[in-house]
């Protein structure tokens, strides 16, 4: 399946420029700029309270900045709601997977396809799961490709209720990719996963880039995962951008080491094998 990105490889796609956020007298973010290029994974990390979640909420539209702007493929989205940003091509996942317990994995993907192509049928489909079963042929090639690529095929006809957390997170990722987003925002995707599940998550994230042309912003507490997976990393501390660059530079940056209270370079070796960009 060919990538669906609408920009050339390496082109800047999602950008936040000069973002400042204040909560009363507290400066949560001070003049922060972050960019996600086409077909890349960008990591955003920092200690607790660094401003990661605040920045993520600004970029996804859940929080308005005091100053600065957010653009997608050159279009200013700063004053658009999360729903309108989603229609422009920004998808996101959540720390706690948001799934419909009674729908199967496959039905979730059919529902995402319906939401993209025929949004007026969405509520009818949710009320009657039979409508989703009847619509399996819609987007079937992409559905099957996602089920295979994200290791969901064996569980495709299982209801979402009772799925292990790692499977539920991959389901949420597949559902987001089904809408063919321009950029996918991932909110702490490894939270609660064991080492094996984290390894599989890293594999499917890289596959999403190489097979489906995805572009991602990854907000994550697992620094070694981010450094092993990302093409570019931004590091926040107390609302300030203290480092930005490829993982190899970030792991030895003295400001980053100080922020994480480590005397030694951060180890980017992770349970998940680092995947080539080819």
* 99, pLDDT greater than 90: no
Q: Give the pLDDT of residue 65.
A: 96
* 121, pLDDT greater than 60: no
Per-residue pLDDT averaged across 84-110, rounded? 90
* 48, pLDDT greater than 80: yes
**From edge to edge, which strands make up the β-sheet containing 90-92?**
90-92, 183-187, 216-219, 41-45, 232-237, 240-245
CA–CA separation, 108 and 12 (whole Å):
30
> Which has the minimum average pLDDT: 25-34, 115-124, 153-162?
115-124
Q: Give the pLDDT of residue 98.
A: 84
* 17, pLDDT greater than 90: yes
Ramachandran angles phi, psi of 128, nearest 5°: -120, 105
Q: Give the pLDDT of residue 111.
A: 87
Beta bridge mates, 32 = 19
Which residue, among 249, 193, 199, has the nearest Cα to 229 in the 3D structure? 199
Q: Give the pLDDT of residue 94.
A: 84
> Which has the minimum average pLDDT: 5-9, 26-30, 121-125?
5-9
Q: Domains of the chain, with CATH numbers?
A: 1-95+181-278 (3.40.50.300), 100-162 (no CATH)
pLDDT tens, 156-177?
A: 999 999 899 999 999 999 999 9
pLDDT tens, 127-157?
A: 455 555 554 455 688 899 999 999 999 999 9
pLDDT tens, 222-258?
A: 888 999 999 999 999 999 999 999 999 998 898 888 8
Q: How far is CA 270 from CA 64, 162, 222, 255, in A?
A: 35, 28, 10, 22
Q: Give the pLDDT of residue 7.
A: 39
CA–CA separation, 212 and 82 (whole Å):
23
């Amino acid at each position: 399946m060919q990538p669906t990105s609408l920009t050339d490889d390496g082109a800047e796609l999602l950008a936040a420029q000069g973002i400042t956020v204040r909560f009363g007298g507290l400066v949560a973010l001070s003049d922060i700029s972050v960019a996600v290029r086409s077909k890349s994974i960008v990591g955003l990390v920092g200690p607790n309270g660094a401003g990661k979640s605040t920045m993520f909420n600004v970029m996804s539209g859940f929080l308005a900045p005091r100053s600065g702007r957010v653009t997608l493929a050159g279009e200013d989205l700063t004053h658009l709601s999360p729903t309108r940003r989603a229609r422009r091509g920004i998808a996101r996942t959540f720390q706690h997977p948001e799934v419909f317990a009674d729908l199967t994995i496959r039905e979730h993907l059919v529902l995402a396809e319906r939401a993209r192509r025929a949004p007026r049928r969405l509520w009818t489909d949710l009320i009657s799961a039979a409508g989703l079963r009847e619509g399996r042929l819609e987007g079937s090639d992409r559905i099957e490709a996602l089920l295979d690529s994200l290791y969901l095929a064996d569980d495709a006809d299982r209801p979402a209720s009772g799925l292990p957390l790692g499977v539920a997170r991959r389901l949420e990722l597949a559902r987001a990719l089904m809408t063919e987003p321009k950029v996918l925002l991932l909110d702490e995707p490894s939270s609660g996963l064991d080492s094996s599940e984290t390894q599989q998550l890293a594999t499917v994230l890289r596959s999403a880039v190489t097979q489906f042309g995805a572009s991602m912003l990854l907000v994550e507490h697992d620094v070694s995962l981010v450094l092993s997976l990302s093409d570019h990393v931004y590091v926040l501390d107390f609302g300030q951008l203290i480092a930005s660059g490829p993982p190899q530079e970030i792991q030895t940056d003295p400001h980053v080491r100080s922020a994480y209270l480590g005397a030694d370079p951060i180890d980017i070796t992770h349970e998940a094998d680092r995947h080539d960009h080819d």
